[in-house]
C-alpha cells in the first residue's frame, strides 16, 4: 500500500492531507511569485480551500540571531487559511481577545524573557486550554535557555539537548502530521529542507509522548513529538520550519525551503481541524530507548538446540541474571540462563538444549526472580520452530538470504516471511558500520536489529550471519585493517551463530566471546548445508596455503576447517558462501575472489578431486544481482548466485559482462529465496513487492560428479 493510500485509525484517508498540502503549496508558489513583483496580491489573500480556514491561532515569535533574525509562523499559518493574532502576553490561552484553537511558540522564543514569563505565569492555564480541546505547538528552542518543556503536565515530559542532526526518519508514516514528508521517503535530509541543519537542539529524553519523526531510525533524537491531555494535543518539534521571513515579510531562506515549511504548516492546520472535530487518531506513546530492549533474536537452531539473543533496555540492566524459557504445549519448560556481560554491551546469549525436532516452542526472556509475564510487558517473547530430523524432511524447506541491507524501516523483511522463508542468512553489509570505533559498531548493530520489520522477522525464524566490508569496518577491507578486532567484538555480541571462527587453540569457538579469530561457521538446514566463509579476517596476514608466493585470503586454519567440514558433509546441497563475489568486480577495489584466484581455484580443485557433489557459490556486495554458470569446473555445473542489494542503492557499473553470466538485474530491494528438497533446488530472486526477477532451478542429478 502506498503512503498516500494509508488510513488513520479513525478512517481518515491520508490522501486528503496530502492533497490539502498540495493545494496550499500551489497557492504558496503563486503568492511567492506575486511577492517578487510579477503580479500584485492582497496582503491577506489566502486560498479558501486551504486546510486552516476557520482556525484561530495565537502566535509568539522571536527574531533570533541564529536564523538571520527570521520569523514566519504567523505568515505561514495565514497562507494556510488560519486567522492569526499575536499572543496577548497578559492573557491566558483561554482568555485571549478572541477564542483560539492553536497556540504557537515559534522557534527560539525561549531566548526572550517574554516566553519564560508567560509559561511561568500561565502554566496551569496552558494545560487547561489543552484539556478542553486546544492544541499547543512548540517549535525548536535553545537548550541552554531551558532544556525542559516546563508546562507539560505529569506524566508527560520532554527534554532537549545540544545535539543537531541532518537526517529525519519517518517513525509514524501513517500519521497526518507526517503527511508533508514525500510519500515514498522513509528518510529525508538537508537537500529536502534546503537548510544548513535540520533537527536543531534535538530532544533526547521523553515520557508518554509519541515519536512521529526522529534523527535515528530507532526513534532516538526525536524532532517531532505528540502528546495528549484531555481533548487536546501537544505538538513539540525541534525543526525550525517557521523561520522563513524577516519582519517585513521578505524571504530569508530559499523558495524550496519555504515551500517545505508551508507543507508542514498545511499538514499541521489540517491536523488541528481533526482535533477540533474530535477525529484525530489517538496518541500511542513511544518508549524512550532507555526503556527499549533490542531483540529477541532467534539464532542458530537445529533439531535439539536453539540459541537466542537479547539485549535488555538500559533501564533493565540492573538485573544481572536472566533466563530464557521454552515451552511446548503443556510440557515442562526447558530453560537456559545467562548473565548480563557489561564488557560486551549488556548482551545476553542463551543456549537451550533438549528440544524435539520439527516442534514449535513459545519462548520468554526475563530476569531471574521476575514473573514470566515480564516478558509480555517488555515484548521479549516469541516463538520458534526446531529443524527437521533427516529421516522426516518435508517436501521443501525454504531459506532466505540477502546482503547490503537498510537500517531504515523497509517491508522487504515482511516479504521474506510472506515468501515462506523458515530461516534467513545475513550475507554482510548488514548493517553498514564503516568505523573502527566500538561504540559506533555497537550502535549500528542495535539500530539495524531494532527496525520494526527486521525485529518482527528475527524473533520468529532462525537467523545466521557473516560480514562483508562495511560491517567489517571499512570499504574494501582486508585482514590488515587495524580495526578488525573491534568489528569482531561487535559482530559476536550481536549475533547468535552456531560458532564464531576459531579460538586461540585452533578449535571451533562456540562461545561468542574470547580470543577468537575470524567468524566463519556452518550450519545444516534440511537437505542443505551452508558454509559461511570469512574472506576478511585472515586476508593479507600470511602466505597463502595454495601458493606461498602470494598472500592468503582464508588462512591456513580456516582452510583446514572448511575442507574437513565440506568433505564430511552429508547434505544433498552445499552452499559455499561469502559476502564478496567469486569473480572480478572489474573496479579498483580488491575485495573479490579474483584477487585471491589461486585459493579460489584450489577450492574448486578440492571439490573436483574429492568428488563432492551438490556445491554452489553465493556472494553479495556489488549492489547487482546475478547468476553465473561456470561450466563443469568441479566435475559438474558450478553456479554462483549473487544477491544484492536489499536497500535501494544499485551500482549499474558493476553489472559487467562475463562469459559465465546467465541472468543479471540492476534491481533494488532484492533477496534470494532458496527452496530445497532432496532432489532439487529452486533459487528465486524476489523484490520486496513480491515480483520475481529471475530464477535458477537445479537438480541433484545435475550436481553429481561425472
In tens, the pLDDT along 139-197 reads: 988 888 888 999 999 999 998 888 888 889 999 998 999 999 998 888 898 889 999 88
**What is the pLDDT at residue 4?**
27
Q: Is the pLDDT of residue 41 over 80?
A: no
Contact 336, 323 (CB under 8 A): yes
Q: What is the pLDDT of residue 15?
A: 36
Residue 116 has pLDDT above 90, yes or no: yes
- CA–CA distance, 566 with 574 (Å, rounded to integer): 8
Distance of alpha carbon 135 from alpha carbon 354, whole angstroms: 57
Cβ atoms of 175 and 214 within 8 Å: the answer is: no
HEC letters along 225-286: EEEEECCEEEEEECECCCCCECCCCCECCCHHHHHHHHHHHHHHHHHHHHHHHCCCCCCCCC
- Tens digits of residue pLDDT in 538-587: 999 999 999 999 999 999 999 999 999 999 999 999 999 999 999 999 99
- Mean pLDDT, range 455-461, rounded to an integer: 97
Distance of CA 435 to the CA centre of its chain: 18
Check residue 521 and give its pLDDT. 98
pLDDT at 368: 95
CB 54 within 8 A of CB 98: no
CA dihedral 210, 211, 217, 221 (to 10 degrees): -130
In the predicted structure, residue 39 carries a pLDDT above the cut 60: no
Q: Over pLDDT 90: what percentage of the chain?
A: 79
The Cα 199–Cα 213 span in angstroms is: 10
Q: Average pLDDT in the 616-634 region?
A: 98
More confident residue, 88 or 201: 88
pLDDT recorded at residue 263 = 94
Strands 360-367 vs 381-385: parallel, antiparallel or unpaired: antiparallel
* Averaged pLDDT for residues 484-508: 96
- The residues near 544 (Cβ < 8 Å, ≥ 6 apart) are 550, 551, 552, 553, 596, 598, 599
**Does residue 305 or residue 165 have the better pLDDT?**
305
- Residue 703's region, left for phi above 0, alpha for psi from -120 to 50, else beta, is alpha
**Rounded distance, CA 12 to CA 631, Å?**
58
* Residue-level pLDDT at 22: 41
* Residue 643 vs residues 90, 117, 587: alpha-carbon distances, Å: 65, 61, 18
Helix (H, G, I), strand (E, B) or coil at 626: strand
Classify residue 650 by burial, with Cβ atoms within 10 Å: 0-12, 13-18, 19+. buried
Distance from C-alpha of 213 to C-alpha of 98, rounded to nearest angstrom: 33
Rounded mean pLDDT, 456-470: 97
Distance CA 207, CA 234 (A): 13
Question: What confidence tens digit (pLDDT) does each residue in 57-112 have?
Answer: 999 999 988 888 999 999 999 999 999 999 999 999 999 999 999 999 999 999 99
Torsion angle of the four alpha carbons 198, 204, 205, 208, in this order, in degrees rounded to the nearest 10: 30
**What is the reported pLDDT for 377?**
74
CA 269 vs CA 27, 169, 250, 580: distances in Å? 15, 22, 23, 51
Q: How many other CB atoms are found less than 10 A from the CB of residue 42?
A: 7
DSSP state of 570: -
Work out the mean pLDDT of the chain and round it to a whole number: 91
Distances (CA, A) of 570 to 438, 469, 478, 530, 555: 39, 31, 32, 12, 25
Instruction: Quickly state the pLDDT bin for 48 (edges 50, 70, 90).
Output: low
Residue 108 exposure: Cα atoms within 13 Å on the Cβ side = 17
Confidence of residue 445 (pLDDT cuts 50, 70, 90): very high
Sequence-separated (6 or more) residues with CB below 8 Å from residue 572: 527, 528, 614, 676, 678, 679, 700
Q: What integer is the mean pLDDT of 337-345? A: 94
Q: What DSSP character marks residue 150? A: T
Amino acid at each position: 500500500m502506498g503512503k498516500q493510500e494509508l488510513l488513520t485509525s479513525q478512517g481518515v484517508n491520508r490522501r486528503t492531507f496530502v492533497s490539502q498540502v498540495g493545494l496550499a503549496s500551489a497557492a504558496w508558489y503563486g503568492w511567492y511569485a506575486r511577492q517578487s513583483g510579477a503580479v500584485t496580491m492582497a496582503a491577506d489573500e489566502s486560498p479558501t480551500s486551504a486546510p486552516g480556514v476557520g482556525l484561530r491561532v495565537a502566535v509568539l515569535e522571536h527574531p533570533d540571531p541564529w536564523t538571520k533574525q527570521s520569523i514566519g509562523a504567523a505568515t505561514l499559518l495565514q497562507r494556510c487559511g488560519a486567522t492569526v493574532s499575536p499572543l496577548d502576553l497578559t492573557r491566558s490561552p483561554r482568555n485571549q481577545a478572541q477564542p483560539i484553537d492553536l497556540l504557537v511558540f515559534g522557534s527560539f522564543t525561549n531566548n526572550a524573557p517574554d516566553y519564560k514569563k508567560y509559561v511561568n505565569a500561565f502554566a496551569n492555564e496552558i494545560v487547561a486550554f489543552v484539556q478542553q480541546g486546544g492544541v499547543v505547538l512548540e517549535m525548536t528552542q535553545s537548550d541552554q535557555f531551558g532544556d525542559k518543556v516546563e508546562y507539560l503536565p505529569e506524566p508527560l515530559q520532554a527534554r532537549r539537548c545540544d545535539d543537531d542532526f541532518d537526517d529525519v526518519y519517518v517513525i509514524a508514516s501513517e500519521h497526518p502530521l507526517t503527511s508533508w514528508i514525500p510519500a515514498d521517503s522513509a528518510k529525508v535530509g538537508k537537500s529536502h529542507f534546503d537548510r544548513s541543519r535540520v533537527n536543531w537542539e534535538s530532544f533526547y529524553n521523553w515520557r508518554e509522548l509519541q515519536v512521529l519523526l526522529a534523527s535515528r531510525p530507532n526513534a532516538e533524537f526525536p524532532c517531532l513529538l505528540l502528546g495528549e491531555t484531555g481533548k487536546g494535543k501537544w505538538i513539540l518539534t525541534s525543526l525550525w520550519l517557521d523561520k522563513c521571513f524577516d519582519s517585513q515579510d521578505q524571504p530569508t531562506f530559499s523558495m524550496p525551503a519555504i515551500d517545505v515549511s508551508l507543507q508542514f504548516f498545511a499538514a499541521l492546520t489540517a491536523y488541528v481541524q481533526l482535533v477540533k472535530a474530535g477525529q484525530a487518531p489517538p496518541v500511542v506513546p513511544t518508549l524512550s530507548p532507555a526503556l527499549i530492549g533490542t531483540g529477541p533474536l532467534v539464532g542458530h537452531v537445529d533439531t535439539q538446540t536453539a540459541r537466542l539473543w537479547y539485549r535488555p533496555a538500559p533501564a533493565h540492566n540492573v538485573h544481572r541474571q536472566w533466563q530464557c524459557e521454552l515451552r511446548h504445549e503443556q510440557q515442562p519448560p526447558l530453560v537456559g540462563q545467562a548473565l548480563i556481560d557489561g564488557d560486551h554491551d549488556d548482551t545476553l546469549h542463551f543456549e537451550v538444549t533438549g528440544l524435539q525436532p520439527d516442534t514449535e516452542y513459545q519462548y520468554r526472556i526475563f530476569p531471574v526472580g521476575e514473573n514470566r509475564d515480564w516478558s509480555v510487558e517488555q515484548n521479549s517473547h516469541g516463538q520458534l520452530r526446531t529443524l527437521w530430523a533427516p529421516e522426516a524432511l518435508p517436501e521443501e524447506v525454504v531459506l532466505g538470504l540477502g546482503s547490503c541491507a537498510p537500517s531504515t524501516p523497509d517491508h522487504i523483511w515482511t516479504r521474506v516471511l510472506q515468501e515462506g522463508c523458515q530461516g534467513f542468512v545475513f550475507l554482510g553489509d548488514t548493517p553498514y558500520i564503516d568505523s573502527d570505533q566500538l561504540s559506533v559498531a555497537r550502535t549500528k548493530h542495535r539500530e539495524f536489529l531494532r527496525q520494526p520489520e527486521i525485529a518482527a522477522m528475527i524473533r520468529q525464524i532462525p537467523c545466521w550471519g557473516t560480514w562483508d566490508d562495511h560491517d567489517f569496518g571499512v570499504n574494501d577491507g582486508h585482514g590488515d585493517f587495524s580495526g578488525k578486532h573491534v568489528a569482531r567484538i561487535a559482530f559476536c555480541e550481536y549475533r547468535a551463530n552456531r560458532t564464531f571462527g576459531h579460538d586461540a587453540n585452533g578449535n571451533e569457538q562456540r562461545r561468542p566471546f574470547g580470543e577468537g579469530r575470524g567468524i566463519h561457521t556452518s550450519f545444516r538446514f534440511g537437505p542443505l548445508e551452508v558454509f559461511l566463509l570469512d574472506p576478511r579476517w585472515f586476508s593479507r596476514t600470511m602466505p597463502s596455503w595454495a601458493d606461498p608466493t602470494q598472500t592468503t585470503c582464508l588462512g591456513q586454519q580456516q582452510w583446514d576447517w572448511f575442507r574437513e567440514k565440506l568433505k564430511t558433509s552429508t547434505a544433498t546441497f552445499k552452499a559455499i558462501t561469502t559476502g564478496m563475489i567469486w569473480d572480478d568486480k572489474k573496479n579498483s577495489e580488491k575485495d573479490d575472489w579474483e584477487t585471491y584466484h589461486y585459493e579460489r581455484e584450489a577450492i574448486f580443485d578440492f571439490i573436483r578431486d574429492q568428488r563432492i557433489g551438490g556445491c554452489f557459490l553465493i556472494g553479495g556486495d556489488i549492489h547487482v544481482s546475478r547468476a553465473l554458470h561456470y561450466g563443469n569446473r568441479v566435475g559438474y555445473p558450478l553456479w554462483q548466485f549473487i544477491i544484492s542489494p536489499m536497500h535501494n542503492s544499485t551500482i549499474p557499473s558493476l553489472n559487467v559482462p562475463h562469459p559465465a553470466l546467465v541472468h543479471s538485474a540492476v534491481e533494488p530491494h532484492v533477496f534470494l529465496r532458496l527452496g530445497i528438497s532432496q532432489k532439487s533446488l529452486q533459487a528465486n530472486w524476489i523484490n520486496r513487492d513480491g515480483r520475481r526477477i529471475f530464477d535458477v532451478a537445479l537438480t541433484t542429478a545435475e550436481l553429481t560428479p561425472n
